[in-house]
Amino acid sequence: MQFVKNSPFYKEAIQEMNFDFGNYYLFDSFIIGEVNEDVIFTWENHGKILSKEFSNLYDQNGNDIVYITNRVHNYSVIPSDWINFYKYQYSLKGYAIVSYTKRGFLNIILEKIFMRNKVKGFDNLADAISWAKSLSKAKDNAA
């Protein structure tokens, strides 16, 4: 299990945002979120706040952003709340879930139902970041 702050990637972050429900690290083309222990992550209490904040900071609706959730704590996600994400026309280039437990990988399967095939699971932060960077490079090479 690796926290962003204790990783070599932390120095690449362009901004760190701390909320009462978790810490978020912003990079050029991706965001890493570490939700706090025992949070029940919902659209109304968390997702809506983050979507608006990140849309303003990146000046877009997320089309070119990859979101990585680094599940270093135990918390719950209401997967059906992802529908609201699309309802408000937020989009993501990709969504990576870094899970360090077998149960976490089972949850990834459930979340894939609601994320329209943009979800990719990883067992370490380095691979998730490499994937996020590769998506950004693919866009740059296509331009």
Has residue 132 got a pLDDT over 90? yes
Q: In which band, very low, low, confident or very high, does the pLDDT at 59 lie, cut at 50, 70 and 90?
A: confident
DSSP 89: T
Q: Is 79 exposed, middle or buried (0-12, 13-18, 19+ CB in 10 A)?
A: middle
- Name the more confident of 141 and 129: 129
| Residue with tokens 């991706």, as numbered in its chain | 30
pLDDT of residue 91: 73
- Residues 29-50 have pLDDT tens digits of 999 999 999 999 999 999 989 9
User: What distance, in Å, lies between the first and last C-alpha atoms of the chain?
Assistant: 36
pLDDT of residue 55: 85
Rg of the chain over CA atoms, in angstroms? 14
| pTM for the whole structure | 0.88
pLDDT of residue 93: 86
- Cα dihedral 3, 5, 7, 12, rounded to 10, equals 130
Owning domain of residue 63: 4-142
Q: Name the domain count of the chain.
A: 1
Q: How many helices (H) and strands (E) does the chain have?
A: 4, 8
- Reference 78, options 43, 36, 33; nearest CA is 43
| CATH code for position 10 | 3.30.750.24
User: How many residues would you count in the chain?
Assistant: 143
* pLDDT, averaged across the chain: 85
Has residue 18 got a pLDDT over 90? yes
